[in-house]
């Protein structure tokens, strides 16, 4: 019988730091399970390789939503990482912690220990910021956080234009001042992607108390009464395996897979589980509810030649750029997905910024065959999303088979408040792009184009083209109310020895890209689990000693 003290399900943004933190104690045995393969590939390590991984059939779950009535019945594509590192191995590498008010809001919703002053030490401990540490930033942690290796003149112009309109500057949006406009930071180290796996697990993978297994798709959590005792795993050849946990099972499979695993294990809305023939262990109605995501709208502007690096990634020049990257780990291929962010208010009554506007000095399109084509003309891309959407959706079972993807219903644009906020976001983009010195770099607005002017027209444009920022969260949210799934220690309500630690536990989304706070959740979870130190189950202890 295979027995480990802790089984961590999912080697992604939260699972990797969680496994690292638990295995820091040599007396604790940790098993880290990942459904996908290893991540040692050139395009995984190369920042610009995110475009190559967007539709990858091996290292990506390739989820799709249900048809969305408010978006002309479109099905939206939701990529999620399926390899060591999870989504931190395929994302845009943007590192944004979120606003302090986000975490204070989590604490105010019945989650002691999750206010900003509570989580700040974990943020500082996990990062190695290239400018060094201070009261706000960490300088010696495992995860490298860096400024853009190259800053385009148009990026400086965007910042100057936003400031001309009254947006305050911030030199470090992960430091003392979050709201405002400034350059983004990225989880990039020496020109290479620094995923959660690279940062937290790869340096310690030789530890004798840490076992890492890939190609292991967890089907369900196993129970003895109401105590989690292990997991059932399916291998690629169809072989099933049972693995036991002497202490706890922790689900870190993400905001889509973690609630699915809970439901397949008999924990979730009882009526739904019975409909699929799943035996109800604990009727927990909040599982799969509260699905949140940042609804994303993209705009594009034709630019002057010196304002865009489209030409450097087209034709023969892209080969020169590739050689430059191989020789120096610099240039366009070493950059994250966006350069600049402006955190601004779309609604005056909001206590802090509720819109993120992101600028990149390039434009491109994804094609259905998986290819990414950089536009042939010089272009600048600007996107916006609402930071705290009021509409929520659901993750529900499609069948009792873990191999079947769950049904994803995000309910985008079903809230009038959200629609109004996003319309203001697009108008804010236009104001910034029309302000000096940015105005002199804009040749024409390509998307949506000057013909889309009224609120109704902008609304239709959002319905037709709006997408996901791929920041799903909240589907196993933390709290002490009837719809909460885990408590403030991340223990699943109604059962024992089972926790969830990933973005699904967020009561509401953070202000910005969600990878950094998800990593923090894993780091903090490891510390809490070690503090709680539940004893080994007697039968497991006896078998281990034998």
End-to-end CA distance of the chain: 11
What span, in angstroms and rounded, lies between the C-alpha atoms of 224 and 392? Answer: 34
Strands (E), 404-462: 407-409, 442-447
Alpha-carbon gap, residue 437 to 61, rounded angstroms: 42
Q: What is the rounded CA–CA span in Å between residue 529 and residue 22?
A: 8
In order, the DSSP letters of 278-326 are PPPSEE-TTTT-SBB--EEEEEEEEE-GGG--TGGGSTTHHHHHHHHHH
Which residues is 127 bridged to in the sheet? Answer: 143
Rounded CA-CA distance 213/8 in Å is 11
Distance CA 118, CA 112 (A): 9
Max Cα distance, the chain (Å): 76
Cα 285 to Cα 263: distance, rounded to the nearest angstrom:
10
- β strands within 371-448, DSSP E: 372-374, 379-386, 394-396, 407-409, 442-447
- Count other Cβ atoms within 10 Å, centred on residue 421: 24
Q: Which of 235, 459, 471, 493 is catalytic?
A: 471
- Token pair of 86, please? 């999870």
471 catalytic, yes or no?
yes
Is-contact 364 339, C-beta < 8 A? Answer: no
Q: Which of 215, 249, 214, 263 is nearest to 235 (CA)?
A: 215
Q: Hey, which residues are catalytic here?
A: 471
């Amino acid at each position: 019988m295979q027995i480990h003290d802790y089984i961590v399900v999912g080697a992604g943004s939260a699972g990797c730091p969680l496994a690292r933190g638990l295995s820091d104690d040599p007396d604790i045995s940790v098993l880290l399970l990942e459904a996908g393969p290893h991540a040692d590939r050139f395009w995984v390590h190369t920042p610009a390789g995110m475009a190559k991984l967007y539709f990858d059939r091996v290292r990506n779950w390739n989820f799709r939503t249900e048809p969305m009535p408010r978006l002309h019945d479109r099905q939206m594509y939701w990529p999620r990482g399926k390899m060591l590192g999870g989504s931190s191995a395929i994302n845009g590498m943007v590192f944004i912690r979120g606003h302090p008010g986000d975490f204070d809001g989590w604490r105010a919703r019945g989650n002691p220990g999750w206010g900003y002053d509570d989580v700040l030490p974990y943020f500082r401990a996990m990062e190695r910021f290239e400018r060094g540490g201070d009261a706000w930033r960490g300088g010696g942690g495992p995860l490298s956080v860096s400024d853009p290796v190259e800053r385009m003149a148009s990026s400086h112009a965007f910042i100057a234009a936003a400031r001309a309109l009254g947006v305050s500057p911030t030199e470090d949006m992960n430091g003392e001042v979050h709201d405002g406009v400034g350059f983004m930071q990225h989880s990039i180290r020496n020109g290479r992607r620094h995923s959660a796996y690279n940062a937290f697990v790869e340096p310690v993978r030789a530890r004798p108390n840490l076992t890492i297994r890939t190609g292991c798709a967890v089907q369900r959590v196993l129970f003895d009464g109401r105590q989690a005792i292990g997991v059932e795993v399916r291998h690629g050849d169809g072989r099933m395996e049972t693995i036991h946990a002497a202490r706890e099972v922790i689900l870190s499979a993400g905001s889509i897979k973690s609630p699915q695993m809970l439901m397949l294990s008999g924990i979730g809305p009882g009526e739904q589980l019975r409909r699929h023939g799943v035996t109800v262990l604990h009727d927990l109605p909040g599982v799969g509810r509260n699905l949140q995501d940042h609804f994303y709208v993209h705009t594009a502007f034709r630019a002057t030649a010196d304002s865009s690096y489209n030409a450097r990634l087209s034709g023969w020049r892209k080969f020169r750029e590739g050689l430059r990257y191989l020789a120096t780990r610099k240039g366009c291929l070493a950059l994250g997905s966006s350069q600049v962010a402006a955190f601004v208010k779309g609604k005056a009554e909001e206590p802090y910024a509720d819109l993120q506007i992101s600028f990149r000095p390039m434009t491109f399109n994804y094609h259905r065959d998986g290819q990414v084509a950089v536009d042939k003309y010089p272009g600048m891309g600007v996107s916006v999303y609402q930071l705290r959407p009021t509409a929520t959706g659901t993750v529900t079972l499609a069948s009792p088979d873990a191999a079947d993807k769950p049904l994803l219903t995000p309910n985008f644009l079903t809230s009038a408040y959200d629609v109004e906020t996003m319309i203001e976001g697009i108008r804010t983009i236009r104001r910034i792009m029309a302000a000096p010195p940015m105005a002199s770099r804009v040749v024409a607005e390509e998307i949506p184009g000057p013909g889309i002017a009224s609120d109704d027209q902008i609304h239709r444009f959002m319905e037709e083209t709006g997408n996901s920022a791929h920041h799903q969260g909240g589907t196993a949210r933390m709290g002490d109310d009837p719809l909460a799934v885990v408590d403030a220690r991340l223990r699943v309500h109604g059962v024992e020895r089972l926790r969830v630690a990933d973005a699904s536990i967020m009561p509401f989304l953070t202000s910005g890209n969600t990878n950094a706070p998800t990593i923090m959740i894993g780091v903090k979870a490891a510390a809490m689990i070690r503090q709680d130190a539940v004893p080994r189950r007697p039968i497991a202890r006896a078998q281990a000693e034998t």
